[in-house]
Structure 1
Amino acid sequence: MKSSTSLTKKLTLIPLSLMIFTTVYGFNNIPRSFYKMGYAAIPWYIFSGITFFIPFALMVSEFGSAFKKEKGGIYSWMEKSIGPKFAFVGTFMWYFSYITWMVNVASGMWVPVSNAIFGKDTTQNWAFFGLKGPQVLGVLAIIWILVVTYTSTKGLDKIKKVTSLGGTSVLLLNVFLWIGAVAVFWGNHGNLKQPIMGLNSFIQTPNPKYTGDIIASLAFVVYALFAYGGIEAIGGLADETESPEKTFPKGILFSAIIISVGYSIGILLIGIFTNWETVMGIKEVNLGNASYIVMSNLGYSIGTAFGASENIAMSLGRGVARYVGLSMFLALSGAFFTLMYSPLKQIIEGTPSKLWPGKIGETKNGLPINAMWIQATIVCIIIGLVAFGGSSMATFFNILVSMTNVAMTLPYVFITLAFPYFKKKKEITKPFIIFKTQGSANFWTCIVVLTIGLANLFCIIQPAIEGDIQTTIWSIIGPIIFSLVAWLMYKSYEKKNKSNVFKN
């Protein structure tokens, strides 16, 4: 029998760094970044790591340590630091980011289905009942949302194995990328498909949409910030770490270096077997299928590098595309069933119960079923509006990805702005302190907020400058509507509970 000390063993540097890595690192970010910027994406990942990932991660570790007994999560952090109204609007914005994620993924997950079945993306040619392209994906997405919501309200036990299998499959994709790219490099005697022309290759993007456009390049920072997303989940790890004052900041720095280097090397590896102009620069490629085209090209390149015939190389490419499609479909399916109820349950349980009108806040069998159906309705309406808005497939996916990136990163502004107030409050017990002075807390708050704010500003205005008004409107309309809804909900709550506003 194990002793009690072994059961409560604290995290050391390496396990802590690996936990942070697996929480943050996302495979899809690599091919999408190469598609948008080529090698020029690498400096932006390093920049974002320094100005966002490291300081923000240290902030949430202080929050998590101080409020480890609060079940409200980020709501408790902001409510105890600034106040309940600010906390509710910020938390509601955080929840909205998962709404846009559902819109994005429900529409885009048919690309992996196509790859799994056909070995390539054929969704641009899908048509039925007079519907084409984005409209077909929109209808399928709405059906998917309704099916997942219905299934989730009946219990989630059956999909746990799917989640686990999908996660393992995606992990193997990273391994295959590294090993496959090295094999192609060796087979091609060290020649790169996307040549490196000195320092210029890391400054100038091969993507003509970004060439010479500083606003477009700065807008890419949002993609890098999104790639570092999820770090708020590590807030509670400080108290589980051995000698946290020394080990935790080292773990943050170490994992930030690993993640930045991992993304950077991943982008470099894609350049070994992918020429941007001939593979990524064609009309059929978009943000929805970039990952599958890259990995299919890896399979093809392995074949050609070692003397396989054209037919065999093409078969290898389709085989890899099928594996990628199946892996991503399983992973996204598992994530969908979890995220269909998890963020909603957290925001309802973590905030004052009287904030939720009618029966929205009620739970059955531990699930907020009424709220889940309202959520499904909202997601389906947004999917329908975007899908039937009259855009091409490439524009359709640009809108979805931009919406998600902006929505996912804006809540970090709320959490960061609460940090200086948190530091000022002497009554809050802070067992773990990294920012020793109020001045350092204020300085890094400004750096993080400026990084997120300016990146989102450029991300929102850049499409409009290029004439793509749709993407700009959809990127900004969601956060505005949801923040307004949150503010109105809280005002109504204040009127009804004037004497009890600060109580759950």
Structure 2
Amino acid sequence: MAAKEKTTSKLTLLPLVLMIFTSVFGFTNMPRSFYLMGYGAIPWYLLSGITFFLPYAFMLAEYGAAFKNKKGGIYSWMEESIGPKYAFIGTFMWYASYVVWMVNVASAIWIPLSNSIFGKDTTSTWTLFGLSSTQTLGLLGMVWIILVTFIASKGLDKITKVTSIGGTAVALLNIVLLVGALFVLAANHGHFAQPILSAQSFIKSPNHSYGTPIAMLSFIVFALFAYGGIEAVGGLVDRTEKAEVVFPKAVTISAIIIAIAYSLGIFLIGIFINWNHVLASNNVNMANVAYIVMQNLGYQVGHGLGLNEVSALTLGAWVARLVGLSMFLALTGAFFTLIYAPLKQMIEGTPAELWPGKMSEVKNGMPLNAMWIQCLVVIVMIFIVSFGGQAASAFFNKLVLMTNVAMTIPCMFISGAYAAFKKKTDIAKPFVVFKSYKSALLVTIIVTFTVGFANFFTIIQPATQGDLQSTIWMISGPVFFTVVAFWMYHRYEKKKKIHQPLPKYAAK
């Protein structure tokens, strides 16, 4: 027993930093950010690291340490801090963000597949049964979600081993980016493809869509989304040696490394990508920009090696194939995990009476009935989005925006509950970063405001440019799932006849 405790509590500084880094850092965030803001993305990543990533990670660490024996995850955190209704709505929004993620990825996963086969994104030319490319990708997405749900429902979750293969390949892409960019810089005698003219280059975006102050402020949500995944950090506290010293140090080091890594990656892209020459095309969107950027890197490396035009293009296509295969494997593995893991955690963590019919049943470790209902919801959302008459570029941009907003809103619920958590003296807190209630309240306000501020400007930005439809889409997902959560909890309260106790002054 003692040996076991020793084994599980020996997570030291370096392994912890690596675990945080691998769970947070996402390769595609860099080319997407360069596409939207150019070098101007860098200050927003640094600012978001200070105002969001670092304090939010500390919050999760405190939650994780206090509720390490609770089964319900974030539901338990919020229920104990504020109450069951708040906890359920926040948890349901967290789960809903994965539903929106599935809608996005089910349609976008064909882009890395196309790159792995053809060396470029050909999805804009795909057509089935006389449908447009957008509708074709939507149809393929519907087939994909049905197939994945069917396979996962059989308990064949061993396919998630693909995740580790894809994760390793994606990690190698960062090395390819670093070495390739430095080689191109040397080959071009220190000349940058995207010139740095003045400090304005780190503020003003070359993308005219992000040229206004509101659009620039809306970019914060992309930086926040890039820091996503730190929810896993909270569960590592009890496995850390000398957690009160090592954990805050690891989180601080990780935040600095991740913020610098993102900033450096965006900076490196400017070495071999000229925004106006490569990214200004209508065929470039947030779903395929990573492949276009890396294909261009291979092309520029080929020129640096003295290859002729055809050979340089071939090298670029093979780099795009590497990116495509890596991302396809990583997304496939992630899909097979996320098709059931968030749903299972939410169902097992919340009261069974909340779920209609047999939704809460878990067979062979899988919430089968709930998974098929989830499948139907995703299919309906894909159908509505893909058959709405949008061009492919606008279609994928809309999906990415919907995902970013949906996946950052739950952070507001978790951070919003933090001050109440700190105020409750009956909750044992073995790990504390923010010592006083005032400091906890200040951090709660800063983090919640940062996420709310970013989402507000992200949501209104398209409307200010006449694109009211994108604004409506970004609002519709979270609003729909909030209404569903309220309805489910109201039904639960009615069923169990649960009523809040009257205030003392009204008890007479």
Q: Which moved more, 1:232-241 or 1:422-431?
A: 232-241
What residue is the counterpart of 1:339 in the other structure? 338
1:369 and 2:368 correspond: yes
What residue is the counterpart of 1:307 in the other structure? 306
User: CA 1:358 to 1:122, structure 2 compared with 1: closer, same or farther past 3 Å?
Assistant: same
Query: Structure 1: which amino acid aligns with 2:71?
Result: K
What residue is the counterpart of 2:135 in the other structure? 135
What residue is the counterpart of 1:214 in the other structure? 213
In the TM superposition, what are the counterparts of 1:57-456 in structure 2 within 5 Å?
57-211=57-211, 213-456=212-455
User: CA 1:161 to 1:449, structure 2 compared with 1: closer, same or farther past 3 Å?
Assistant: closer
Q: Which moved more, 1:66-75 or 1:249-258?
A: 249-258
CA–CA separation in structure 1 for the residues paired with 2:457 and 2:498: 43
Secondary structure in 2 aligned to 1:377?
Answer: helix
Aligned residues: 500
| Contact 1:115/1:324 (<8 A) preserved | yes
Q: Which moved more, 1:248-257 or 1:370-379?
A: 248-257
| Contact 1:398/1:471 (<8 A) preserved | no
* Offset at residue 480 of structure 1 (A): 0.7
* Offset at residue 242 of structure 1 (A): 2.0
What residue is the counterpart of 1:481 in the other structure? 480
TM-score scaled to structure 1, two decimals?
0.97
| Contact 1:156/1:337 (<8 A) preserved | no
4+ runs deviating over 3 angstroms: 2-6, 499-502
CA–CA separation in structure 2 for the residues paired with 1:269 and 1:379: 37
CA deviation digits over 1:132-158, x for unaligned, max 9? 121111000000000000011112245
Q: Which moved more, 1:406-415 or 1:13-22?
A: 13-22
Q: Which runs of 5+ in 2 are unaligned?
A: 502-508
* Offset at residue 116 of structure 1 (A): 1.1
CA–CA separation in structure 2 for the residues paired with 1:66 and 1:173: 38
| Contact 1:39/1:267 (<8 A) preserved | yes
CA deviation digits over 1:292-328, x for unaligned, max 9? 0001001001001121100000000111111111111
CA–CA separation in structure 2 for the residues paired with 1:367 and 1:239: 27
| Contact 1:409/1:452 (<8 A) preserved | yes
CA–CA separation in structure 2 for the residues paired with 1:93 and 1:6: 37
CA–CA separation in structure 1 for the residues paired with 2:418 and 2:477: 25
Query: Structure 2: which amino acid aligns with 1:492?
Result: R
User: CA 1:143 to 1:5, structure 2 compared with 1: closer, same or farther past 3 Å?
Assistant: closer
CA–CA separation in structure 1 for the residues paired with 2:396 and 2:498: 47
User: CA 1:73 to 1:419, structure 2 compared with 1: closer, same or farther past 3 Å?
Assistant: same
* Offset at residue 233 of structure 1 (A): 1.1
CA–CA separation in structure 2 for the residues paired with 1:452 and 1:160: 31
CA–CA separation in structure 1 for the residues paired with 2:343 and 2:116: 31
CA–CA separation in structure 2 for the residues paired with 1:456 and 1:309: 47
Secondary structure in 1 aligned to 2:307?
Answer: coil
User: CA 1:129 to 1:4, structure 2 compared with 1: closer, same or farther past 3 Å?
Assistant: closer
CA–CA separation in structure 2 for the residues paired with 1:126 and 1:238: 48
Secondary structure in 1 aligned to 2:497?
Answer: coil
CA–CA separation in structure 1 for the residues paired with 2:90 and 2:178: 39
| Contact 1:52/1:451 (<8 A) preserved | yes
User: CA 1:3 to 1:88, structure 2 compared with 1: closer, same or farther past 3 Å?
Assistant: closer
| Contact 2:146/2:375 (<8 A) preserved | yes
CA–CA separation in structure 2 for the residues paired with 1:341 and 1:161: 15
CA deviation digits over 1:14-35, x for unaligned, max 9? 2211111111000010100000
| Contact 1:66/1:431 (<8 A) preserved | yes
CA deviation digits over 1:170-208, x for unaligned, max 9? 111111111111111112111111111121110111111
CA–CA separation in structure 2 for the residues paired with 1:308 and 1:347: 55
CA–CA separation in structure 2 for the residues paired with 1:157 and 1:441: 40
Query: Structure 1: which amino acid aligns with 2:85?
Result: K
* Offset at residue 161 of structure 1 (A): 3.4
| Contact 2:155/2:366 (<8 A) preserved | no
* Offset at residue 241 of structure 1 (A): 1.7
What residue is the counterpart of 1:13 in the other structure? 13
CA–CA separation in structure 1 for the residues paired with 2:274 and 2:160: 39
CA–CA separation in structure 2 for the residues paired with 1:53 and 1:281: 31
Query: Structure 1: which amino acid aligns with 2:194?
Result: Q
Q: Which moved more, 1:95-104 or 1:246-255?
A: 246-255
Q: Which moved more, 1:243-252 or 1:61-70?
A: 243-252
Secondary structure in 2 aligned to 1:11?
Answer: coil
* Offset at residue 118 of structure 1 (A): 1.0
What residue is the counterpart of 2:456 in the other structure? 457
CA–CA separation in structure 1 for the residues paired with 2:161 and 2:456: 41
TM-score scaled to structure 2, two decimals?
0.96
CA–CA separation in structure 1 for the residues paired with 2:52 and 2:337: 27
* Offset at residue 466 of structure 1 (A): 1.0
Query: Structure 2: which amino acid aligns with 1:275?
Result: N
| Contact 2:163/2:332 (<8 A) preserved | yes
| Contact 1:494/1:501 (<8 A) preserved | no
CA–CA separation in structure 1 for the residues paired with 2:160 and 2:427: 39
Query: Structure 2: which amino acid aligns with 1:91?
Result: T
Query: Structure 1: which amino acid aligns with 2:281?
Result: I
* Offset at residue 500 of structure 1 (A): 9.6
Query: Structure 1: which amino acid aligns with 2:195?
Result: P
Secondary structure in 1 aligned to 2:26?
Answer: coil
CA–CA separation in structure 2 for the residues paired with 1:8 and 1:123: 47
Secondary structure in 1 aligned to 2:210?
Answer: coil
* Percent identity for Structure 1 against Structure 2: 60
CA–CA separation in structure 2 for the residues paired with 1:446 and 1:46: 19
CA–CA separation in structure 2 for the residues paired with 1:499 and 1:202: 55
| Contact 1:399/1:470 (<8 A) preserved | no
